Amino acid sequence: MARAQFWYEFASTYSYPAAMRVADLAATRGVALEWRPFLLGPLFFEAGWRDSPFNIYPVKGRYMWRDMERICARLKLPLVRPDPFPQNSLLAARIAISLEGEARADISRRFYAREFGAGGSLCDIDALGALLTEAGLDPEATIAAAQHHANKTRLKIACDDAKALGLPGAPCIVTDDGEVFWGNDRLEEGLDWAIGRR
């Protein structure tokens, strides 16, 4: 079975529609998808950015938010800007990476729906716990596991992997032969590549 990785960052706006679309796109093509949460912060820090490039460069920020409005309208996804933007995504990423397979994908979509669908905070541990409960998980045990040293290291390694792959941002599709496709608008192309459709 063809495989691909879906790399995403919870603070990333374009990762939101991508996370909502990618499972169907992969299933349609028969691609087994691995969800790979990571943090852009360490990569941006190396580029000299101490904030989202969308805040540092207001022209790009204004364009992105209008683009997001159009994208979400077309997909019939709600869009509410979280305040502040970007949200601190560390806890969400640790929770997601502590889970496996479909549980990871499911909670990731719930986190995105809260953050960009309802403008909710990603730092509110009780709110994230409620989403874990809705997903059928034990919130206390899950959050404890997410904050365990070994899991923190797991997320650090994912960030190192992202750097080694040369990811320029999020979201990305990465194929087994090391090709990177960056952007919500490139999911189809990346998944097509994974099944040899060029």
Q: Is 51 in the site for a copy of itself (CB under 8 A)?
A: no
Which range in 7-15, 33-41, 59-67, 86-94 contacts a copy of itself by CB under 8 A? 59-67
Interatomic CA distance for residues 26 and 17, integer angstroms: 14
Which of 27, 73, 141, 144 touches a copy of itself (CB under 8 A)?
73
Q: Is 42 in the site for a copy of itself (CB under 8 A)?
A: no
- Supply angle C-alpha 49, 50, 56, rounded to 5: 65
Interatomic CA distance for residues 80 and 27, integer angstroms: 28
Query: Is residue 7 within 8 Å of residue 36, measured between CB atoms?
Result: yes
CA-based nearest residue to 23, from 105, 87, 100, 80: 105
Q: Is 14 in the site for a copy of itself (CB under 8 A)?
A: no
Tokens of 63: 């364009």
Interatomic CA distance for residues 116 and 92, integer angstroms: 14
Q: Is 75 in the site for a copy of itself (CB under 8 A)?
A: no
Amino acid at 116: F
How many chain residues bind a copy of itself (CB under 8 A)?
A: 25
Minimum distance between the CB of residue 185 and a copy of itself, rounded to whole angstroms? 5
Which of 1, 47, 150, 164 touches a copy of itself (CB under 8 A)?
47
Q: Which residues of this protein are in contact with a copy of itself, per CB under 8 A?
A: 43, 47, 57, 59-60, 62-64, 66-67, 70, 73-74, 166-169, 179-183, 185-186, 198
